[in-house]
Amino acid sequence: MRVLVTGGGTGGHIYPALAFVKYVKQMDPNAEFMYVGAKRGLENKIVPPLGIPFKTLEIQGFKRSFSVENLKTIQLFLKSIRQAKKIVKEFKPDIVIGTGGYVSGAVVYAAAKLHIPTIIHEQNSVPGMTNKFLAKYVDRVAIAFQDAAPYFPKSKTVLVGNPRAQEMVGIQKSAILEQYNLEVAVPTVLIFGGSQGALKINQAVIQALPEFSKKPYQVLYASGERYFQEIEETIGMTKDAFKNISIQPYINQMAEVMVNCDLLIGRAGATSIAEFTALGLPAILIPSPYVTNDHQTKNAQSLVQIGAVEMIKDAELNAQTLVEAVDKIMSNEVLRQSMAEASKSEGIPNASERLYRLAKSITRD
């Protein structure tokens, strides 16, 4: 099987694609891959070290307000389609799978016009502009949230989940928390705002540290590299008093850490949701207000409705609302277990398998 995957710009588009590639390699060691990304996308740092054949296209997004820059965007898009057709013809894929981002628009569209079987994967509750555009051309639309279904043609749309979730399956509890000077047997709250951190979350956590230090649970807090030094300076010598709190700039083994935690706090990105629902973790989600179509709020609402998470709006986040929300869950084991079960019910741990079966089904048509 020859598979061309494309998606870029953010980790939310890249990591599901890579998780799918990893799964297909396990199922079919003879499978061949090509990854097509954008020249200036994050995928340039993430994909090449993995040894996957990698090509790039120069492409950019549309400005939402009127701008002459959009003329350049159109020119680049048309040029990218021509280049993508050349890549597709040379690689001769059995299927092309796009996971979002502007680059996948050009590549998947080109493949569809060349009559190559195509699938787009939508990770969020509200689709991005690229996948909305591609929906009319592709053979199948794979979604991670049922809430996304109304945006796509019913006859093409299949709920598969997020491939990133399948990478969480089988990870066992361990003593990894000891690496962060925390105790394995103490209930643990994990707080993070993404790889770069989130300013509003950092501000609330810093103010909440004195209260958290009094609690019977412990806190592992990943601040993000760009905020870590500032936090160290703000806390100063008082950090020695926070025996049950560990502050880290970044957590490399996030999956292994999540398995050993009891509550997660963070943004409502599609990848994080795929990870913690696959594990059946309860969560407090603070959706970012700075994303397209406010899709993180809608992601979170899907889980609030089934009782898997609590949501705090970014504008309402402060030390008091954060501590109150954490205490409500951590002091009530029955509630925490109920949320965990709801989270587990929403997770689709075999998402890569589902997407693989879908891909196989249309390559045989």
Binding-site residue ranges? 10-12, 124, 195, 251, 296
The helices-and-strands tally (H runs, E runs) of the chain is: 13, 13
- Please answer whether residues 17 and 97 qualify as being in contact, where contact means their C-beta atoms are separated by less than 8 angstroms: yes
Report phi then psi at 18, rounded to 5.
-70, -35
248's enclosing H/E stretch is strand 245-248
**Count of residues in the chain:** 365
- Residues placed in the known binding site for UDP-N-acetyl-alpha-D-glucosamine: 10-12, 124, 195, 251, 296
DSSP state at residue 344: H
Q: Return the CA Rg of the chain.
A: 21
Q: Answer whether 120's CB lies under 8 Å from 108's CB.
A: yes
Distance CA 317, CA 344 (A): 26
Nearest CA among 358, 365, 363 for reference residue 92: 363
Helical H runs in the chain? 11-27, 43-46, 69-91, 102-113, 129-134, 199-212, 225-235, 254-259, 270-279, 295-304, 319-330, 333-346, 351-363
User: CA–CA distance from 115 to each of 51, 85, 92 (Å)?
Assistant: 28, 11, 11
Nearby residues of 250 by Cβ (< 8 Å), 6 or more positions away:
195, 222, 224, 225
